[in-house]
Every structure is written in structure tokens, then in C-alpha cells.
Amino acid sequence: MTNPVFLAEQIPDDARSWTLDGEEAHHARVMRLAPGEGIDVVDGRGTRLRGTVRAVLGDAVQIDVLSVTHEGDDAEIVLVQALAKGGRDEDAIEMATEVGADAVVPWQAERSIAQWPPARAARSAARWEARLRAAAKQSRRSRVPALLPLHDSRALARFVAETAAAGGAALVLHEAADAPLHRVDLPTTGRVLLVVGPEGGITPRELEAFTAAGAVAVVAGPHVMRSGTAGPVAVSHVARALGRWDAAGTMEESAPERPA
């Protein structure tokens, strides 16, 4: 069984013992973690502390540190998820986190039925951030995907152009595309944008703007997928192509223990 994961702002590289406190330590106490049990603490940016519980004292957990490791650097997988009704967009970003997304962009597409009006935008963003954080902890990730600002289609076209100019890749999932996603050459560094449209689809005007900015239209599979399904499937394709699934767990599981 894998260790439960808790979040902390800063993790030391060279500590042999360390104390988790605050709300996350409270969660550990609620889970009734006992001395000797394994525990992981991550900073949400790729660093993982692995250790065993020495003691649980109120809202503080004392940890004997076994190792501190860092996720390798490769291309950043960014899911651009169009707002969708019925919470399907939130389900999509949760599943995308589990399979490897590094950042998420909420997109107010022309055909999005769901809306983030200014009066509710901050609350909606906070809800997405909570889903990303919870999904990262549940899937034992050391990296919590960053939530980027809400984009409309014009802003997204600029983001595509910036990505292409920096040597990254921008891939628009579209049912009429000819290029299979799994055959696209991907950069090993930089950014890989995966653009997923709303229930009503991406408009011809949006697709033209994105491709003119440097994006490539791709198809993720032989069947038409819903807006909430396409993103996680595409992220899993890219994560596997980058070799993340081949090496899943090997770096962190095999990290040498610290001397006593």
C-alpha cells in the first residue's frame, strides 16, 4: 500500500527529522496515523519527503525522514478545459490530475453553456483549485497542477501563439482532425497544450484562430468523447509518450534511505 500524502509549503532537502503541522497535521491525526506508519509529504511543486511517523502530538506530526526526492523535469502538460455544464469540467480536471496534468486553464469557449460571470469567477476558480489539490493528494502526486486564469478564445489564441513561439506544442482535440494524437511528435521540454472544447464543440472560427496561431488539430481516438472525457484521455496519451508511465514510481520508490 502506498503512503498517505500531505501537503506542506516548504520541505527541507537535508533534514533527518521533520514536523508536519497545521491543517494537514490535523488531517493526519483524524486518519489515526500511528508511530511507525509510512507517510509522504509533498510541496505541490515536485518535491516529496518520505518517512515514518515518530509521534502524533496534538496538531503536529513528528516524522523520521527516509528520503527527499524531486520529480524529473520534462515537458509541462497543460489541459485547456472548456467550461461545461453539470460539473463535467470539474470531473475532467480531477481525472486529468490523476493521469498527469501539470496545469489547467479554464476556457470560456464560444459554445460553453456554463459561464464564469465576474461575480462568481473567484468562487468558481477556488472550487477548481480545491478539486486539483484533492485529486493530487488522492493520487499520491508530488505536484499539484497549477490553475491558470480564465481565458476566452482570443486570450487562448495568444497563449497558443506564445507556446508555439517558445518551441512547445499546442494540440486541439477535434473530431474531424486527421492526425492521431498518439502519432504526434512531442517536445521533451517546454509546454504541451491540450485544448478540449465544450459540449457544442469548437467553432470553425476558434479552430481557425488556434491553427493560425500554431496549433495542430488532432483526434484522441476512434470514438467521439464527451468534453469531460477527452481531456483526461489526451493527458494520459501525452504522459505515456513522455515516458512518465514507464517510470511510474521508480524514482521515488527506489530512493535510497537516509542513514540513521
The b/e string for 117-151 (b: 16+ C-beta within 10 A; e otherwise) is eeeeeeebbeebbebbbebbbeebbbbbbbbeebb
State residue 72's pLDDT score.
67
pLDDT at 254 over 80: no
State residue 107's pLDDT score.
98
Average pLDDT taken over every residue of the chain: 89
Radius of gyration of the chain (CA): 20
pLDDT at 248 over 70: no
pLDDT at 224 over 90: no
Return the residue matching grid coordinates 493530487.
136
Give the pLDDT band (50/70/90) at residue 1: low
Nine-digit cell string for 154: 482570443
- Least confidently predicted of 41-50, 95-104, 159-168: 41-50
- What is 5-70's CATH number, 2.40.50.140, 2.40.50.100, 2.40.240.20, 3.30.420.40? 2.40.240.20
**Architecture label for domain 76-241:** 3-Layer(aba) Sandwich (3.40)
Q: What is the mean pLDDT of residues 195-218?
A: 96
pTM: 0.83
pLDDT tens-digit series, residues 125-134 = 999 999 999 9
pLDDT at 195 over 90: yes
Residue ranges of domains in the chain: 5-70, 76-241
